[in-house]
Chain A
Amino acid sequence: MMLLTLGWSRFWGRTRIRRYVWNHLSVLGDRFEYRGRGRELMIGFVLALLMVGAWGCLMYVVWLYVFHEKPFASFGLFDLFSLSVVLIGFPLAYVGHYAGLRYKLSRTRWRGIRCGMAGSAWRYGAIATFLQFANASTAYLLTPVVSVNLARPRIVNARVGTQDFAFAGRAGDIYGRYIGYYFLNIAAWIAAGIATFAAIGGTLESLGFSPDDFLKLLSRPNLSTVVVVLLIAFGAYLLFGLLILPLRCWWQAYLLRYLVTHSRAGNVLFATALSTWQMWGFLVLNYLILLVTLGIGWPWVMHRTMKLIAGQLWIYGAPQGSTIQQPTDLGPTYGEGLLDMFDVSGV
């Protein structure tokens, strides 16, 4: 369908996938429902396209009157548009992320009760942009601050009916683990780099190849060249999987456990014991599936992800159903245009 419709059927395809996935997930024996529509996603995308089109026209007018045949003539229309997209695209991606989450939640029901998300997507986009910029400027030493302060609005603004969520996390609680990960990660990359160069150089030398010979071989590849390249790629993947990924999982699993265990909804507490090695095994197999199937095996990956979430998320306490009311707010009428525009929506 994607081929026949040049990708436009993706809105309906995504909707069907969500209906399937949501309905196969349940909490306390009650399944989730997804009641979004493909048409809503398409409208959101078309509106985002129009917005980008309008921005493009504005840039054209600016270029025509400010840059064209003026002293800044070397700054072309394409340069101007690209720069503006980078400047506004970065914050807009976060706005789109939050707005997309709000749309998904507004179309999700549990026990017939609509979920939702309050708060401003623009505010979230502004905070996220500022935090990411600050993080990049400080060599990513602010990552715990970013993680906690971006998770907070996403959690506390989410609702199931009139039931809010609360989050009691603080960045200071997780800095110890992050600093350990930060420096160990640097060491791991250095070790991986040395191992890679030594392996490639050593292999080439043992096979009697000079780097020039290898480049010549690449310019006229035969079956053995392809096999060698595949082996090198597999070796690189193995190195990444054994050296870098476990460390990343050591941090990510800890962060996930922290965020989950510091969230609650009324008298319902959440917990997970997802371990580093559980996450590592999960990600390694996912990468392999995507690699071997050239990405087409993503439904399998998604299924595994949902199973992991369902198996590793525990709930303590039962919600008081009578106190959770149906909200009056119906949520946005269309969804995810920006998210789709920046191609980060996935499912």
Chain B
Amino acid sequence: MAARYYDGVTAEVQEVMLKITSQELVIYRPADSGVVARWPVADLSVLGDSHHEAVPPVAIRGSEARLVVEDLAWRKQLASLVPALKSLALEPVPVAPRLAGFSVAIVALVGIFWSAIEYGTEYAVPLLPYTLQAKLGETVLDELLADKEECQGRAGVTAINRLANDLAREAGYKHEVTVHIVEGGPVNAFTLPGSILVFYSDLIDQARDSSQVAGVLAHEIGHVVHDHPIKGVVRAYGLDLLIKVLSGGYSDILSTFGTGGSALLAMRNGRAFEREADATGVRLLEQRGLRADGVSSFFQQMLDKEPEDAATSAGIWSSHPPTKERIEATKRPATGRPAFSAAEWQALRNVCK
């Protein structure tokens, strides 16, 4: 049995022969049969295994010396004689069945993870500590208010907060909603984690009547009661993690595709959330016997101002459904009580003055 012997002290290599007895492995030079080393069988081990290495070396405890047996038949013979060396003779694992198995497993696991992210967020998000969500929302709000002025008109702020919490309670929402009004534009409002709403004063200024502001507020409450902000974050993070884990971080190409894919999915989620918030907002207003035509009329007003609807132009890349679709979906008769009293509406109009 031929092998290469490294003494572990220098980089000299010796071509040796091996002889195995019940007690020891004798390593000797073939030229003069001079013994190079005697290794007790009880102290023998294999460094690694032949699943992962072509020729794993044999070593002895307490020494850096190694023995390398290149010939497979001899390695098998050695392994059969010394049980401690059985990993020397493992057959390489056939690639094709393993590859097929792993591929099926990966596809199945990706499917499971995907479903967990897409549908599991519905059940997981309510379990997230509310204080954490609130902290996140407050941090974002702080960043936003760093270079913007918040409107301080107390009566106006009280009015909008009163309606917001009435609508939230109508939906069975347990936490307090806080509405902040920021001076200036754009003509927009949005929701942050932790039941924080931000309205821009330009939206209030440009609204034709109080039902429009109430409609937009109800839409935002729809986002709040369905936990859309935190769901969006969890889904986006979950998908990003799935792609990174899949590619092992080794693939810029997969990451690039993943980034585009994540963006498209975020847009798809965004459109679904917007539709849900529209429907919920209108429903809450109707349940409280309030005018529910505000959202539709507000969208129509915006569309009249900007006939080139950005949401329609962007198609699958838009985070909002086409405005015409939203107008039709939220169209209601102008019946019901006004959401704000005349005094409240006046206070809201003057909230930044």
One of B201-209, B222-230, B241-249, B269-277 at the interface: B241-249
Contacts of B48 in A (CB 8 A): 19, 23, 33
Cβ A35 vs Cβ B11 within 8 A: no
B315 touches A322 (CB 8 A): no
A97 to chain B, nearest CB (A): 16
Contact A3 B66 (CB under 8 A): no
User: Within the complex, which residue of A78, A160, A215 is in contact with B11, where a contact is CB–CB below 8 Å?
Assistant: A160
Give chain B residues whose Cβ lies under 8 Å from the Cβ of A78: 143
B251–A2 touching, CB < 8 Å: no
A148 CB to nearest B CB, Å? 27
Q: Is A311 an interface residue (CB 8 A)?
A: no
Cα–Cα distance between A229 and B318 once the two chains are bound (Å): 19
CB distance from B56 to the nearest CB of A (A): 7
B98 within 8 A of A: no
Q: Does A201 contact B (CB under 8 A)?
A: no
- Checking B52, B106, B314 against A19 with a beta-carbon cut-off of 8 angstroms, the contacting residue is B52
Question: A324 at interface (Cβ–Cβ under 8 A)?
Answer: yes
Are A111 and B248 CB-contacts (below 8 A) given A219-B315, A296-B254? no
Is A154 part of the binding interface, using a Cβ–Cβ cutoff of 8 Å? no
Q: Point out the residues of chain A lying under 8 angstroms from B315, CB to CB.
A: 216, 218-221
Q: Are B11 and A319 in contact (CB under 8 A)?
A: yes
Report yes or no: B143 in contact with A298, Cβ–Cβ below 8 A. Answer: no
- Asked if A76 CB lies within 8 Å of chain B CBs, one says yes
- Taken together as a complex, chains A and B put the C-alpha atoms of A126 and B191 apart, in Å, by 45
- Determine the chain A residues whose CB is within 8 A of the CB of B257 once the complex forms: 294
A110, A220, A294 — most chain B CB neighbours (10 Å): A294
> Contact: B12 with A322, CB < 8 Å?
yes
Of A4-12, A256-264, A272-280, which binds chain B? A4-12
User: Which residue of B12, B54, B317 contacts A219 across the interface (Cβ within 8 Å)?
Assistant: B317
Chain B residues positioned under 8 Å from A110 (CB to CB): 11
In residues 111-170 of chain A, which contact B (Cβ within 8 Å)? 111-113, 160-161, 163
Which residues in B have their C-beta under 8 angstroms from that of A298? 250-251
- With beta carbons under 8 angstroms apart, the residue of B11, B52, B146 that contacts A74 is B146
Contact code string A316-330 (vs B, CB < 8 Å = 1, else 0): 000101111110000
Q: How large is the interface on A (under 10, 10 to 19, 20 to 34, 35 or more residues)?
A: 35 or more
Contact yes or no, A3 B11, CB < 8 A: no
Contacts of B109 in A (CB 8 A): 3-4
For A248, what are the chain B residues with a Cβ–Cβ distance below 8 Å?
Answer: none
Write the chain B residue with the least CB distance to A294. B254
Please name the residue on chain B nearest to A221 by beta carbon. B316
Point out the residues of chain B lying under 8 angstroms from A218, CB to CB. 315, 317
Answer whether residue B39 sits at the interface, using C-beta atoms and an 8 A cutoff.
no
> Contacts A2-B246, A33-B47, A290-B253 given: A323-B52 contact, CB under 8 Å?
no
Q: In angstroms, how far is the closest chain B Cβ from the Cβ of A82?
A: 12
**Contact across chains for B248 and A31 when beta carbons are under 8 A apart:** no
For B186, the chain A residues whose CB sits under 8 A away are none
Mark out the residues of chain A between 69 and 83 whose CB falls within 8 Å of any chain B CB in the assembled complex: 73-74, 76-78
CA of A209 to CA of B7 in the docked complex: distance in angstroms?
74
A112 near B53 with CB under 8 A, answer no
Query: Do A295 and B11 have beta carbons less than 8 Å apart?
Result: no
CB atoms of A321 and B12 under 8 A apart: yes
Shortest distance between the CB of A153 and any CB in chain B (Å)? 24
A20 at the interface (CB under 8 A from B): yes
Q: Which of B1-19 contact A (CB under 8 A)?
A: 4, 6-13
A221 to B106 Cα, complex, angstroms: 28
Mask of B142-158 contacts with A, CB within 8 angstroms, 1/0: 11001100000000000
CA distance A333 to B2 in the complex (A): 35
Contact A3 B65 (CB under 8 A): no
List residues of chain B with CB within 8 A of the CB of A77.
139
Q: Is B21 an interface residue (CB 8 A)?
A: no
A172 within 8 A of B: no
Chain A 27-42 near chain B by CB (<8 Å), digits 1 or 0: 0011101010000000
Chain A residue nearest to B9 (CB atoms) is A326
Q: Do A219 and B251 form a contact, CB below 8 Å, given A111-B13, A160-B11?
A: no
**Given contacts A3-B109, A295-B252, A324 and B53 within 8 Å (CB-CB):** no
Q: What residues of chain B lie closer than 8 Å to A322, measured between beta carbons?
A: 10-12
Chain B residues contacting A74 (CB-CB under 8 Å) are 146-147
Cα-based distance from A220 to B106 in the complex (angstroms): 31
Residues of B within 8 A of A220 (CB): 315-316
**Contact assessment for B245 and A2 in the assembled complex, using a CB-CB cutoff below 8 Å:** yes
A208 within 8 A of B: no
Most buried by B among A29, A111, A221: A111
CB distance from A154 to the nearest CB of B (A): 21
Residues in A whose Cβ lies below 8 Å from that of B314: 219
CB proximity to B under 8 Å, residues A267-317? 290-291, 294-296, 298
Which 10 pairs of residues, A with B, have the shortest CB-CB distance? Answer: A295-B251, A219-B315, A112-B6, A321-B12, A324-B11, A295-B254, A23-B53, A321-B11, A112-B66, A220-B315
Given contact pairs A16-B52, A296-B247, a sample of 5 additional A-B residue pairs in the complex whose CB atoms are under 8 Å apart: A4-B109, A19-B48, A20-B53, A111-B6, A219-B316
- A residues in contact (CB < 8 Å) with B: 2-4, 6-7, 10, 13, 16, 19-20, 23-24, 29-31, 33, 35, 73-74, 76-78, 110-113, 160-161, 163, 215-216, 218-221, 290-291, 294-296, 298, 319, 321-326, 343, 346
11 interchain pairs (CB within 8 A)?
A: A19-B52, A31-B68, A74-B146, A216-B315, A221-B316, A298-B251, A321-B10, A322-B12, A323-B10, A324-B11, A343-B249
